[in-house]
Structure 1
Amino acid sequence: METSARWRAPVLVMGAALLLPLMLTFAFNLPRWLTVVLLVLSIGAGAMGIRQVVFQREQAELRAEAAKERAAAKPEPEPTLNEHHVPAIPIDSAEPYYRFVLSCKVCWTTHPDADHGNPRGLAVHAVLERARQITVTGAPTDSDNVRTRLAAELGVKVVDRSGQITAWAEDVGLTIPETDVARLARLAELRKEKQVLHQERELEQSTRSYLTENVFTDPGSAMVWWLSRHPDQIREAAALLPTFAELTAAVNDTEVSPKYAQAERPTLSAVANGEWNRLAGDEDRRQLPRTSDPD
């Protein structure tokens, strides 16, 4: 209360207490001593009246403040908890043709000013909408991790978009149909096999390119390649020059050089197995298998 309004009544009472004796004195021509007595009595009565007014006002203010405190301290009634079990409902996953199966217990409380005709449907819709935002980012093969995340997110009490209920979910379950589990397992195996075949094909192509472009360009390069793998078989590598010449010609689709055409051609396996060293003379060397016999 403002100061002017608070002291308005006391000022009026005191003013009346002062004016009343003066008015009586002028009206009845009272002696001065009687006027003084009346003033003293009037001021005393006014002071007592002011005190009573102030006291009643303070008591009223105290009662109002106490009532406010009691109203503030009074606990609000707990909202009624409602539950609805959702046994199984399909929900999208990250794969377009595979869906999770969600089960949960939808819980909700209705706000005091709610006027929706079907709060249960509103709560189920709110929970499913939140669940879908999570499942659409999860792979069907990772249902356990998606379920853990889903249970944590749906356990948070959230006010729905209409502002009429607060909904959350408990006992969240998330599964994949058995038929889809088998299909996904088969697809995973096929992807692995495809990846292995792709890597093997790339290795084969790389090896072919290397042999064609770097090894069998001429007999000398082929011999160097052989020596890099058999550094202790120098004589054998020299003896294989006719064979390398024939391989180089076959790879590049050309004729064998005349200087190698009539030469002996021991097989690579004979040289690699050490048979070429164990043969004593030319007659024995001629007994080795050859890639082609001279005319």
Structure 2
Amino acid sequence: MTTARKTTTVFLTILCALLLTIVGLTQRWPAWTWPTLAVLLLVVPAAVFRVASLRRGSMPVSFEEQLTASPVERTDCHVGQVALPSLWADYDFLFSATVRWYLIESPGKAPLLNPAGLASEAVLNRARAITKNREPGQASLVQHELSGALSHMCPDSTGHLQAMAENINLTLLEQDQERLSRLAKVRKDKAVWEHQRKYEQSKRQYLGEDVLKDTGSAVVWWLAKNDEHVERTVADLALIAQLTSAANDSDIPERLQNLLSQQSEGLADPELLEESPTPAPHERTAVDHLAGFFDAVGFLEGDVRRAMVAKQISGIIKQQNRYETAESLLRRFDPPTTFTPDDGEQPNHETDDPDETSGPPLT
């Protein structure tokens, strides 16, 4: 039984004795009851002490056992805007947090005069080990990762204390964030441009190496485009032959020369043919073939579609290293625009890069 319990038991015994004495005097108890009451007041406390000692055991309670453990004293400090390295050079994170620590009592160690500095160093070393392997564009994600990694106490390298961090904030410099945004925009635009360039290259390759490879391939392609209308495809054989010859910089095959003659006779005015002298025959070039194709499909002089289609076909011919023919097509159907000196602008020279041609692709 502890000292507090013993004191309480004695106090209650005295209080009961006083109450019984007052009751006995007021009720005029007989004389033999007083010795009996005194014996009971002595025996009952002794019995209580005996029972308590038996339940406690024979082991004495020392004073040290009654002492409670001393509370652990924790302190904290704030670190703000500390530069931590990222995976990219010259792009540092800015780290801010509240550092908390408690000292470790170890015999034989010199007293620690600046625990805040040692605790801050321990937390920053733990944070640096994580941020140096993370990209700067993931600042918000890395902040949550640090909140979890630094949320528990860990000993420092000297063993004097254990430290942790809370209220962590991880940001970038405003200038670095703007640079990252511009870089992301450029990467997205480049991906779209490369996709468009590959798409146009694939279409030109498809037209040059598959559709317009020869007259037969062009006929099959034309037939599929016209919903298997055979009569229309037959009527357009001369046009297909001209387009194929212009794309491949070659003459129309002899077996198809009669189709071209029939088309020329059908389009010519008989009265004008009788009055005009017969022109001297000359070798037809790719320009002549393409001009005949434009006239046949209704792309007359001044129609912007003539220049658009000519650019597409010129790009196909350049891929076959026939630059002179490609330039002749551009000079004939898409000549460079000239400006007067009063305009204050330089002439617009057409580029030789087939990827920079404008207008709808030839399908």
| TM-score, length of structure 1 as denominator length | 0.63
| Residue from 90, 95, 99 that aligns with 2:92 | 99
* Unpaired stretches in structure 1, ≥5 consecutive residues: 1-60, 266-280
CA contact (8 A) 2:83 2:93 kept: yes
| Alpha-carbon distance change, 105 to 285 in structure 1, aligned in 2, over 3 angstroms | farther
Cα distance between partner residues in 2 of 1:180 and 1:165: 36
Q: Which amino acid aligns with 1:220?
A: G
Cα distance between partner residues in 2 of 1:198 and 1:171: 44
Cα distance between partner residues in 1 of 2:73 and 2:94: 29
Q: Which amino acid aligns with 1:154?
A: L
Q: Which amino acid aligns with 1:167?
A: A
CA contact (8 A) 1:264 1:290 kept: no
2:203 alignment counterpart: 207
2:181 alignment counterpart: 185
1:40 alignment counterpart: none
1:29 alignment counterpart: none
1:131 paired with 2:136, answer no
Please report how far the alpha carbon of residue 197 of structure 1 lies from its aligned counterpart in structure 2 after TM superposition. Answer: 0.8
Aligned residues: 213
Identity %: 33
2:292 alignment counterpart: 290
1:79 alignment counterpart: 72
* Unpaired stretches in structure 2, ≥5 consecutive residues: 1-57, 271-290, 296-363
Cα distance between partner residues in 2 of 1:97 and 1:247: 58
Structure label with greater radius of gyration: 1
Cα distance between partner residues in 1 of 2:206 and 2:65: 88
| Residue from 56, 59, 64 that aligns with 1:62 | 59
Please report how far the alpha carbon of residue 257 of structure 1 lies from its aligned counterpart in structure 2 after TM superposition. Answer: 1.3
Cα distance between partner residues in 2 of 1:175 and 1:292: 62
Please report how far the alpha carbon of residue 283 of structure 1 lies from its aligned counterpart in structure 2 after TM superposition. Answer: 4.9
| Alpha-carbon distance change, 284 to 162 in structure 1, aligned in 2, over 3 angstroms | farther
2:230 alignment counterpart: 234
Cα distance between partner residues in 2 of 1:285 and 1:211: 35
Cα shift readout 1:132-189 (whole Å, capped 9, x = no counterpart): 2222333322322221222222121112233221101121111111111111111111
Cα distance between partner residues in 2 of 1:253 and 1:282: 26
**Counterpart secondary structure, 1:62:** coil
Which residues in structure 2 correspond to 1:138-287 (within 5 Å)? 138-261=134-257, 263-264=259-260, 282-283=266-267
Q: Which amino acid aligns with 1:155?
A: S
| Alpha-carbon distance change, 156 to 284 in structure 1, aligned in 2, over 3 angstroms | farther
1:90 paired with 2:90, answer no
CA contact (8 A) 2:242 2:292 kept: no
**Counterpart secondary structure, 2:90:** coil
Alpha-carbon RMSD? 3.1
Cα shift readout 1:86-112 (whole Å, capped 9, x = no counterpart): 121111223223111111111111111
